[in-house]
Structures are given as C-alpha cells and as structure tokens.
Chains A and B, each alone.
Chain A
Amino acid sequence: MMKRTLSVITALMSFAVMFGAGRVQAQDLTATSANADGRFVHDTDQGPSQNLNRRWDGAKYDDATFDVGAHTGKGSTLLDFDVDNIRSTEESGNLDLSLGQQLLIKGDFSRLTHRDGYIANGMTINNNFLPSPYVGFAQGMSTGTAAAVKRDFQEEEIVLSLSRMSPYRLYLGQWEQHVYGNQGLVLNDKLYSQGMSNYNREIYGGIDADLSAKSQAYYEYGFRRYVNTGEDVPGIIIGKAWKDLNYQADTNVTNNKFAFKYNPYNSLSFAGSVVTRSRYNEGNGLTQNTYAGNLSSSYRPTKNLSMTARLYDRGVQTSYESTYSGNTNTPAQPIDFLFLNGDFDIRYTGLDNIILAGGYRPSATLRNNSNAWAQVYPSTGFLNGGVYGLSGGVNAPAGEDTRHNISGKATFELPQNVELELSENMLRANAAAYENTPTQSYAEMISLIVPLPQNVIWMGSAEQVNSKNTMATFSNFTEKKDTLLTSLTWSDSKGRGSLGLNYAFENGVDSIDAYWSATSGENPASGTKQGTVYTAVLEPSAPYKFTNHVVSASAMLKPTSKFRINGNASYTDSQGLFSTQGAFNSLIPSWGNNAPWVGAQYFNATDTRILHLGLDASYQLCKFVSARGGINYNDWVDRVNNANDGRNTVYNVGVDYKF
C-alpha cells in the first residue's frame, strides 16, 4: 500500500509541478481507466485439510470476506475492507502523463498479496500425512516445514522519455517480494513455533536508446537484496545463526546488463547481450560470480526461407576462501560451471502445402571441482563405479559432458484444410552429467487439426518420449512417457457463443536401480553382484509409474452485445506409485516378507481427484461501466490420505469502469 501511495504521489507531484509551471494543459494529459472490483468469499468447509486444498488462499473458517477495490488502467487497485480472512488481494494500475511533445512519463505498478496462510508442504511419517505441520519426528532431530506461508508481490516501473520523439528513454523500477508466516519445529521431543519472514527486493534502472533507425541498445544496473528476518526460538537455539532451522542468509545480488540489436537489412538481424551478476552471502562470506552472454542472428534470404542462430556462454564461479568459521566439517570446494550452448534453426515454406523446419542444439558443460565431494569424503568401502562415502554413495557429476539435440518437423496442408504435423527430436550425450540425466532420448509427435462443418475444429496429438542413461554407474535410469491431447471446439461465426471440450492423458514409467543397504557394517561380507562383493543390499529395481487424466470443458454465451456468460468445468485424476510389489530383488532371505510392504509403504504413492466447476457472467451497464459476478466450486479428494480431502465455494463480484 505504501509503495503504491508513493508511486501515485510521485506521479501527482510531477503533475503538480507541471501545472504550477503553467506548461501543461488539460488536453495534454492522458490518463487510463478505473475499475471497481469486489470479491466475496465464502468457505463451506473447515479443518486443516483445507490448507492443502486451497494452497494459495487457505481460508479455514466459515466466514465471509469482502474486498472493495478500484481498478486503474490495466488491473485493479483495491481499497481493502479487512473484514475477516481476506484471502488475497490484487492491486495494479498504470498512468500515462504526457507533457506536450517534451515529456512522457509512464508508470506501472502491481501488487499481489496472499493474506491468509497455507501449508507449503506437510510432514509425512511412515507415509501418514500429519495435518498439523507442528508435529515432527522426535528423536533428537530437528526438522521443520513451513506451516503457513503468506506471500506478497509488488512491482513498479516508471519509464521516462525525454521527449515524445526522443530516442533515449530512462527507466527505473523496483520489485519486491515478502514471504511471511510460521514454521514449526521439533527439538528433543518438544514442539516450537518459529517465525519466518524474508524480503526480496530489487531496484533497477537503465537507459534504453535507439542508436539509429536500425539499431537499439540498453544498459541496466540492478541491485537485489534478500533479507531473512525470521525470529529465533528463544532459549532453544543457542549458537550461531547458521544453526537456526530457518536460517537463510542475507544475500546481495548486483547485476549489470548490456543488450543490443542491429538490423542492417530487413532480412538480416543481429542481437546480443552480456549480463554479469555477483551474489554475496553475508552469512558465510562466499561470493558467486556469474557472467552470461549471447550472440544471435536471424537471416531471411527469401520469403520462404528463414534461419536463426544463437550462441550462449555462461560461467559460474564461487569463491572458496572465506572467513566463515562456523562450519565444523571441511567443506567441499564448490563446483565452477561453464555452459556453452548453441541454437540453430531453419524453416522452409517454399514447397506446395508443406512446411519444413529443423533444429540443432549442441551444448557443452564443464564442471571444475566436480569430484570435490569425493576428495573430501574418501571411500572407505567398496567401489562400484562410484564413490562409497561414509554414509552412502556420492557419485560425482561428470567433469564434462557434451550433448547434441536434433529436431525435425514437417507440417502438411491436406485437402479440406486438414493440417498434419510430424516431429522428431533426438538427443545424444557423451557422458552422464548425473545418474538420472538421459544420455539418449527420442521424442516423436504427431498432430492433426481437422476443420469440421458448422465451425467445429477437432485437434488431436500424440507424443512419446523414450530416454535412458546408458552411462550411469549404477542407476540404469530409463524413462518412457506417452502424452495424448485432444480437443473439440465450436464457435459461432458472429461471436455469440463458443464451446470447448478437452482431454489430456499422460502416462509415464521411470525406472531406476535404487540401492538401500541394510547391513550394520560397512564392509560387505556376502553376496555378489556385478563382480563386487557386498551383502544385504536392497535393490528395488522397480518402476515409478504415473498416470494423469485431465478432462475439461468450457462454454461462452453472449446472447446480447452487453451480456456474456462463461462456464467451465474440469476433472483431474493423478496417480503415481513407485511400485515395488512383486518386483523387489532382495539378496537377504529375511527380506522376503518385508519387501513388498516396505516398497508400497515408503515410496509415497499419490492418488488425487480434483473437480472444479465455475460460472461467471458480465453485463455492460453503460458505455464505460460493466458489472460481473461468478461462482466457483472446487473439490479435492486424496485417496492415499483422506485427511487431505476438502472442498470450497468461492463467489466474486466486480464492477469495471474504463474511461
């Protein structure tokens, strides 16, 4: 609210100065529209399960909330009537002031606030979701997850043009995010509540210039600061700040950016940029410097042929030396990265009824100090293509990997205006960056668009992706995913109505060889696998399967030019399971009875049904004023844990005035 007020005051002061100088006439000023919007929210359900149900509003009480607001410009400015549990508000607006030919000021601001909390993620123990995030695992370990998080965004930008026809534009902007709420933690079997509050603020400014009729450039400087103001737990957490559970160090980020474009001819364009960032962690004294650059061009030698080439270069370097002394263990030297990417695309439309497109995207990633963790924690156990650390295997990422991505697409114009599209995408890599990073991948897609009589259009597409890591040391990662999309749409030729039906299906299987060790000793004593001797190793060797169905429909009816009704409905069915039943591959006879139970119990199955219904109507009262209202109903069912079930009904009303 304060920021918005300041913005308005700034604008008004400029306005007043100009008026005072007698240089501005009323007709020189152009302002934007104003709207009024009210929102009435009524919850029909109660209980902690609502928090998960309405993740972004999270109202828990059967109370009414009412917002009254005035819109300016593109959005809304809300004057809050804080009755009770106002769940979220949105304010935005813009203002254009022009002073004859000499001066043009444009201002934009927006603010989004979630005023009520929600559980970011709950606590699960033994696959039982605990509605209260304050209950944790009590064995002398502290843990915490956000219990109620509120989030506030605000963004403002002012652009100053020295004259209406000036090639130079100065701009200044600020962006702010505030996250606040409470976080629960358990320490030594006791429950504590810990405040959480952090700000993320950025100010930036720059100059944007038309250097010539064919070129443009701008320079921008930005400063962003992240501040954690969360409270400690009195009397419990003693010691340095980094031991607090909600510890998040204050961070400063400065960035410089230069960008340009140059179009020597209509058919030839160049663009590029250089961005440097420096990120400083006040808690540990570390600094991370990044630089990124890109050089791009597009060339259209004929009307039927277009080509684009983009080269990217990015480096990340973190300083290792610092005066930080809170860490009692020897830290591993951070990995420094160098990323090199290229995008090359070509498109040809010169064939009758066929459009051809192709792309090639090479990339190379270099990782300096990638083996740092292995050096710090040397192997004292067995090796199986990786490093066996003190408490498990730490596989170092590859020091370098190169990837090649090739794509091709053909679009065919068939009789009766039918359009058929075929595409193929192939990936090859020379090394596995991480165990679950594919080194080979194929993706095929076919899409069909069929215009039907009476303004009906049917669309269908099918895509299959097959990926695997052929160079993994132990995980044997594979992934297969199928996606089907289909839609049927109808629209009235005069815009009086429309109807849409949509169905999306996704089915996937990820497979890994995941190893748990159940031995009480670190040196395996019996059993063999792949030539390495170890014992009591649990190898699920099982697939992770997921299936999603999304069915939706929407309709619009506009019986008169002033009255419009919108309706929509959707049903989402999502299931995911790391199925180990019958697929466990245990080397210990005693596992025989436990394996299926362990697998199904501890690998976090999900089974969710979500239903949404909505209806909105708007009516134009007069030339510049319209009114609207709506109702939305949502129902969430969690078949794995019914404690998460919930439903809500939301009403909203609004008035818009635009001048």
Chain B
Amino acid sequence: MNLLPDRAALRKVVLILSSLSFAPLLALAQPQTSATTPPQTAPAVQPAPAPAKAVVAAPAEAATEVGASVCASCHTEKADAFKKSWHGRKMPGMKGVDFEKSCESCHGAGSLHVAAAGDKDNPGFATTLITAEKNDRCLTCHNQRKLINWKVSEHNQQGIACAQCHKIHDYAVEAPKPKSEICMDCHKKKRMEASLPFHHPILEGKIECYDCHNPHGGDFRNMAAESVNETCAKCHAEKLGPFQQEHPPVAENCTICHSPHGSINEALLKESQPALCLGCHKYPHAGTNAVNGVPAALLTHSRCTNCHFAIHGNDDGGWFTNH
C-alpha cells in the first residue's frame, strides 16, 4: 500500500501547524482585539517521522467499539481537551452522541487499535484512510449549505483535510487563531500582498478571507458569490449601477483594473494612474490646449480620476465626471 498520500498530507499538516504566521502588520494596524491579535504561532507539532513503507494486511476480524473511556486511558490530555471543546460540548445535545461514543464516531471502532497496543500502522486504524475518507466523516454531521460544494472544491481536489484548518479536539480559553491567518499559512503570497501599502484590511482583522471566498467551494470556483463582480458588489454596491454611461471593464470584471488582495497603488489599482488608463485609452485629451507641448490635462492632474472620478459609470453624459 502506498502511504504517500498520508505522508504528504502529514507533512502539510506539520508544516502548517508548526510554521509561524508572519505578521507584516502595517502602520495601518489597529487596536488589537483578541480576534485581531497578531498572528499567533500554532501549537507546535513534532515533525512527523518518515513512516516506513509497510505492507499492511487486511484485518482478520472486524473492529468493535471499545468506548471513549478506553481511549482516554491512553490519550488522557486529548480526551480532557475534547470534553471542553466545541465538539465535546455540542455533540451530546445536538447530535445525540454521548462522550462514550464520541471518539469512535469519527475515528472508527478501536478494538483492533487497542489489541495492537496503539500501533498506528495497524490495519483498521484511522491513519489508513485517505484524506477524502477522513473528510467524509466530518461531512456526516456537517451538512451546512456552505459546504454543499466541498466535494467539487479546489481544496478537496488538492487533498486538504478538514483537520488542517479546523481544530477538532482543542479547547482554549483565549481567542482562537484568526481564520485568515490559517489561510495565509499556506497562501503566503497573499500575506505579502495584504502587506502592501494599499490593501483590504485582512491583517488588521477588519475583513476575513471568507468574506470574499468560500474555502469549502463556491458557486464560482472559490468565490463567496456566483461571480467576482457580485462578490465585490456586496460591499461596494454603488459600483455596479447599472448606469447610462457604462465603463465596460467595470461591468465585466473588477479585477481587470484592481488587485483585491493588495497593491502598491491607491485604490488597489494594478498600475498607477495614468498608466493604467493609458493602457486602454490612447490620445486622451487630444486637441486640448497644450503648454510647451504638454497637454493641459497632464499638467494639472496626474490622476485621471481627479476629474473622471465617476469612473465606474454614471448617468450624466459628461464622461464619468458627473457634471
């Protein structure tokens, strides 16, 4: 049996859980609440030793349940933490799963594991499952509508486990790690973009990755809405009109002009003005008065939107100037 999928998944778990968040919070950083505390390091996890390849035979008999008390006799700290965790407190009331049944409701019957004195390579133990099978166990209870696309999502296709982002057993009195930090443990390039001078306030904790994205799979790739524009329009409603005078790239896709995660330019533009505008518009203000050969518009404004401020569209015939 090829253990590579689990090995790779374990390494990713190790990397994610043991890597520290890099906290390039800007001068724009805000009073920190518990939810916006600079990235905290995840609980340390011993790097998984390379498992030896083993030929695992099918179990001679089916495993039977032993009860969580038996599990807790060895996994004492885990059991104690689980009792205080969200799962531990909610499962009896919401799902009718008492503590005695809680461990094996996810990890499977443990008699073979006990008989093998806790050998992780023993057949019938949860580590023999591939990531998708482990995730299926979570999905038996977690059937919220936001998870409806999980099986066709990019994260699932890439073999990401639920446990890589979500804490299952842990309990903490202090605030949990902000969710965007979890995303940026892997998406390091997005952390860099969010550190640029102009950015959505992700690192400041005023907006989370999931405000625009659905990490469990969306109706359009990983977006929270069915398109990029509709995702942006939830907060920036006034930008979509519809307008009498339409600016075509606005109506088509906001990311034609904007870099939503962060940019060196104001308003998250991909390029500074007027360079961005000159990329599509040539000879602007041709025919206008020039001073020493320099167009008047260029002399007095270095940003096209100083005058064309209704650049997303308007209802006046004045070329996006609303006058």
Q: Is the CB of B244 within 8 A of A286?
A: yes
Q: Is the CB of B33 within 8 A of A76?
A: yes
Q: Mark A44-86, 1 if CB is under 8 A from B, else 0.
A: 0000000001111100000000000001000110000000000
Question: A19: CB under 8 A from chain B?
Answer: no
- Contact partner of A243 among B157, B249, B316, CB < 8 A? B316
Q: Is the CB of B173 within 8 A of A626?
A: yes
CA distance A455 to B264 in the complex (A): 36
CA distance A216 to B144 in the complex (A): 10
Q: Is the CB of A308 within 8 A of B282?
A: no
Residues in B with CB closer than 8 Å to A491 are 18, 20, 41-42, 44-45
CA distance A477 to B276 in the complex (A): 11
Residues in A with CB closer than 8 Å to B107 are none
Q: Is the CB of B287 within 8 A of A391?
A: yes
Question: B119: CB under 8 A from chain A?
Answer: no
- Contact partner of B286 among A87, A251, A273, A381, CB < 8 A? A381
Q: Which of B54-62, B65-73, B294-302 contacts A (4 or more CB under 8 A)?
A: B294-302
Residue of B nearest to A598 (CB): B294
Residues in B with CB closer than 8 Å to A3 are none
* Majority DSSP secondary structure for residues of B touching A: loop
- Contact partner of A226 among B14, B20, B238, B287, CB < 8 A? B238
Q: Which of B22-30, B98-106, B109-117, B161-169 contacts A (4 or more CB under 8 A)?
A: B22-30
CA distance A96 to B235 in the complex (A): 29
Q: Is the CB of A145 within 8 A of B309?
A: yes
Residues in B with CB closer than 8 Å to A568 are 23, 25, 38-39
Question: A298: CB under 8 A from chain B?
Answer: yes
Q: Is the CB of B317 within 8 A of A328?
A: yes
CA distance A45 to B38 in the complex (A): 22
CA distance A626 to B94 in the complex (A): 28
Q: Is the CB of A261 within 8 A of B151?
A: yes
A134 to chain B, nearest CB (A): 14
Question: A332: CB under 8 A from chain B?
Answer: yes
Q: Mark A492-518, 1 if CB is under 8 A from B, else 0.
A: 111111111110101000101011111
Q: Is the CB of A355 within 8 A of B306?
A: no
Interface residues of B in 222-275 (CB under 8 A from A): 226-227, 230, 234-235, 237-238, 240-246, 248-249, 251-252, 256, 264-267, 270-275
Question: A616: CB under 8 A from chain B?
Answer: yes
CA distance A635 to B235 in the complex (A): 29
Question: A245: CB under 8 A from chain B?
Answer: yes
Question: A466: CB under 8 A from chain B?
Answer: no
Question: B87: CB under 8 A from chain A?
Answer: no
Residues in A with CB closer than 8 Å to B126 are none
Question: B75: CB under 8 A from chain A?
Answer: no
B215 to chain A, nearest CB (A): 16
Known: A498-B41, A578-B275. Is A292-B289 also a contact (CB below 8 A)?
no
Interface centre among B235, B279, B282 (most CB of A within 10 A): B282
CA distance A353 to B2 in the complex (A): 9
- Contact partner of A327 among B43, B286, B301, B317, CB < 8 A? B317
CA distance A242 to B157 in the complex (A): 49
In this complex, how many residues of chain B approach chain A with their Cβ under 8 Å: the count is 142
CA distance A260 to B173 in the complex (A): 38
CA distance A290 to B243 in the complex (A): 15
In this complex, how many residues of chain A approach chain B with their Cβ under 8 Å: the count is 243
- Contact partner of A650 among B26, B32, B35, B132, CB < 8 A? B32
Q: Is the CB of A554 within 8 A of B27?
A: no
Q: Is the CB of B244 within 8 A of A457?
A: no
Known: A491-B44, A570-B22, A594-B292. Is A506-B238 also a contact (CB below 8 A)?
no
Residues in B with CB closer than 8 Å to A501 are 22
A560 to chain B, nearest CB (A): 14
Residues in A with CB closer than 8 Å to B11 are 417, 419, 449
Q: Is the CB of B246 within 8 A of A616?
A: no
Residue of B nearest to A198 (CB): B238
Known: A218-B145, A228-B238, A459-B19. Is A303-B28 also a contact (CB below 8 A)?
no
Q: Is the CB of B158 within 8 A of A357?
A: yes
- Contact partner of B30 among A40, A87, A312, A540, CB < 8 A? A87
Interface residues of B in 275-289 (CB under 8 A from A): 275-276, 278-289
Known: A574-B196, A576-B264. Is A598-B238 also a contact (CB below 8 A)?
no
Q: Is the CB of A504 within 8 A of B188?
A: yes
Residue of A nearest to B323 (CB): A142
Residues in B with CB closer than 8 Å to A555 are 20, 41
B189 to chain A, nearest CB (A): 6
Q: Is the CB of B173 within 8 A of A620?
A: yes
Question: A394: CB under 8 A from chain B?
Answer: yes
Q: Is the CB of A286 within 8 A of B241?
A: yes
Residues in B with CB closer than 8 Å to A15 are none
Known: A37-B34, A634-B27. Is A56-B204 also a contact (CB below 8 A)?
yes
Known: A292-B226, A308-B157. Is A634-B28 also a contact (CB below 8 A)?
yes
Known: A55-B28, A349-B5, A413-B8. Is A572-B275 also a contact (CB below 8 A)?
no
B196 to chain A, nearest CB (A): 6
- Contact partner of B189 among A90, A504, A544, A590, CB < 8 A? A504
A81 to chain B, nearest CB (A): 14
- Contact partner of B275 among A216, A279, A365, A512, CB < 8 A? A512
Q: Is the CB of A515 within 8 A of B283?
A: yes
Question: A25: CB under 8 A from chain B?
Answer: no
Interface residues of A in 1-55 (CB under 8 A from B): 30, 35, 37, 39-41, 53-55
Q: Is the CB of A277 within 8 A of B230?
A: yes
Residue of B nearest to A228 (CB): B238
Residues in B with CB closer than 8 Å to A35 are 34, 175
Q: Is the CB of A487 within 8 A of B322?
A: no
Known: A349-B4, A417-B50, A570-B195. Is A298-B156 also a contact (CB below 8 A)?
yes
The 9 closest A-B pairs by CB, nearest first: A500-B20, A329-B317, A570-B24, A514-B278, A502-B22, A491-B44, A568-B23, A634-B27, A636-B27
Given A243-B323, A556-B40, 17 more contacts at CB 8 Å?
A35-B34, A53-B27, A75-B35, A90-B35, A210-B143, A220-B145, A228-B238, A249-B241, A249-B315, A297-B152, A347-B159, A392-B286, A433-B252, A512-B279, A575-B264, A650-B29, A656-B174
A-B contact pairs, 7 of them (CB 8 A): A244-B322, A284-B315, A288-B242, A436-B279, A518-B293, A555-B20, A564-B174
